[in-house]
Amino acid sequence: MTNAQSPTVRHRRLARQLRQARENSGLSMERAAAALGWSRPKLVRFETAKTRPKPADVEAMLDLYGGSEAQKLTLMQLARDIRKRGWWSAFNDVLAGSFAELEDDATAIRSWQVQFIPGLLQTNEYALALIRILSPDDPEDVLLRRLQARMARRAILERKDAPSYNVVLDEAVLRRPVGGAHVMARQLDALIEAANRPNVSVRIMPISVGEHAGMDGPFVVLSFADGEDQDVAYLEGMGGEIYLEDVGQLNRCNVRFDRICDQALSEDDSVALIADIAKEYRQSDESPR
């Protein structure tokens, strides 16, 4: 478990390949560190993605470990790419980069949400209502910057290489009138529109189910193109961001998500329920006051 920060996909991939290169050379951690003139903890930090190596560090390691020139150049470039600026860098004043980078690299995202519609599917009005209530002491310009960041983040689902996005929402999320009836009606219409995309699945956990597998809280699981890049599970709360990267914990998250899906409505029934609740909001908004 890691609080606040998690290595990016590129960083974890580099660390894994550097460790494999050392092991293939037959050098122990102690011998490699001594030959490089480093402390053992320094090498450990590089191989466990706790510290980002410079391209020169990577070159020194590969010169010691052997291997092809192509491999050395590839890993040196990977070390440079770790620091590559993505869309989120323009919003580093209001946005933590770790989750944004992982989300941007993911090829599959599974999300269980119990409090609100996830950011990738939020309308501007719904998002701003949430931002205002969760950051009541921030000045207006900061609130609008947060909204701009969320709008930029939504573009992930519109890319040609957009990830598959499988989200399950507790029915209570639909019935909580964030921003009022008019905002919710528009938000639920947008949710139905998103559910019609080929890469997006939206399902609802109905209140009528009673106890269910997701009652201990929301989480997101991100998967990546390279089969050797392990999943990352993400949890967020008042205590900050938590990343789960242990294989056992990840397996439990994936099993939990499957069980949540087993209890949720089908995609068609979910869309029908969303449409019914959106109609209720419109009727409420149009009723005499």
Of the two residues 136 and 93, the one the predictor is more confident about is 136
Least confident of 90-94, 165-169, 208-212, 245-249: 90-94
In angstroms, the Cα distances linking 246 to 121, 174, 253, 277 are 28, 33, 11, 39
- H/E stretch holding 164 reads strand 164-170
Contacts of 266 (CB under 8 A, 6+ apart): 203
Per-residue confidence band for 287, with pLDDT thresholds at 50, 70 and 90:
low
Average pLDDT over residues 125-149: 94
Q: What angle do CA 103, 105, 108 make, to 5 degrees?
A: 70
How many residues make up the chain in this entry?
289
Least confident of 105-114, 136-145, 197-206, 233-242: 233-242
Task: Give the separation between CA 241 and CA 232, rounded to whole angstroms.
Answer: 12
E-assigned strand segments in 43-188: 108-113, 164-170
Least confident of 5-19, 109-123, 149-163, 274-288: 5-19
Q: Using N-to-C axis directions, what is the helix angle for 40-47 and 9-25, rounded to 10°?
A: 120
pLDDT of residue 141: 93
